[in-house]
């Protein structure tokens, strides 16, 4: 008979992932121990092992939980069937909104990919490419001169994503400039105008 999960299962698992993200972002994957994670969560080490079999599995959960949100952002914006210029603006704003609440996970995703086992790393990279490809597709639709020039289109895509991917290193979400303002500035810099807030698909 299958073992039923306790009602607090997901809540505890998410707490482990959240605390792990903060610790790994601060100390690095190699510098973070399961003992430190247990202390941060106020759980026993054995309870950590109940939810995750290894430190590498926790690292994967940190990355997957973040990149899955970005993949979902792409799906949600795509489902609205907006013109490419508008869709890209909405996507940039949505990404920025999520980065504000996930600075540690974003830092871990950018800095610790090589710490994952090869099979897990391949899954995360494939999801990242889905996000990158979606942004590139919109850029090519907006700027037809990029069509047929894969190298240039990719470089422009990575330049765009580079503007927002590293905002966790300097952006103060409690400061006078909001994440929406930053998204607007990025849109203006790449010449697509001010985005509108995304609305859920029907």
Would you state the structure tokens that stand for residue 67, as one six-digit string?
């990149």
Q: Which of 2-11, 25-34, 189-198 has the highest mean pLDDT?
A: 25-34
Q: Is residue 3 over pLDDT 80?
A: no
Q: At 196, is the pLDDT very low, low, confident or very high (cuts 50, 70, 90)?
A: low
Greatest extent of the chain over all pairs of C-alpha atoms, in Å: 60
Q: What percent of the chain has pLDDT over 90?
A: 79
Rounded CA separation 168/155 (Å): 22
pLDDT at position 200, please?
A: 44
Give me the pLDDT at residue 4, please.
57
pLDDT of residue 197: 54
Identify the CA nearest to 158 among candidates 136, 173, 174: 136
What's the confidence (pLDDT) of residue 9? 86
For the stretch 51-98, pLDDT in tens is 999 999 999 999 999 999 999 999 999 999 999 999 999 999 999 999
CATH homologous superfamily for the domain 61-189: Tetracycline Repressor, domain 2 (1.10.357.10)
């Amino acid at each position: 008979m299958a073992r039923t999960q306790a009602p607090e299962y997901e809540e505890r698992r998410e707490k482990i992932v959240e605390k792990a993200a903060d610790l790994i972002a601060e100390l690095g994957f190699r510098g973070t121990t399961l003992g430190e994670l247990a202390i941060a969560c106020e759980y026993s080490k054995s309870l950590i092992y109940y939810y995750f079999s290894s430190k590498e599995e926790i690292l994967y959960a940190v990355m997957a939980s973040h990149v899955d949100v970005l993949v979902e952002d792409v799906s949600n914006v795509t489902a609205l069937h907006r013109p490419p210029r508008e869709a890209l603006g909405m996507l940039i704003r949505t990404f920025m909104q999520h980065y504000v609440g996930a600075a540690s996970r974003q830092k871990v995703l950018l800095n610790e990919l090589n710490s994952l086992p090869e099979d897990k790393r391949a899954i995360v990279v494939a999801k990242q490419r889905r996000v990158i490809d979606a942004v590139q597709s919109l850029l090519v639709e907006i700027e037809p001169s990029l069509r047929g020039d894969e190298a240039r289109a990719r470089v422009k895509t990575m330049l765009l994503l580079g503007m927002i991917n590293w905002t966790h290193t300097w952006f103060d979400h409690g400061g006078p400039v909001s994440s929406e303002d930053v998204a607007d500035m990025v849109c203006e810099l790449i010449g697509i105008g001010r985005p509108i807030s995304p609305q859920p698909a029907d």
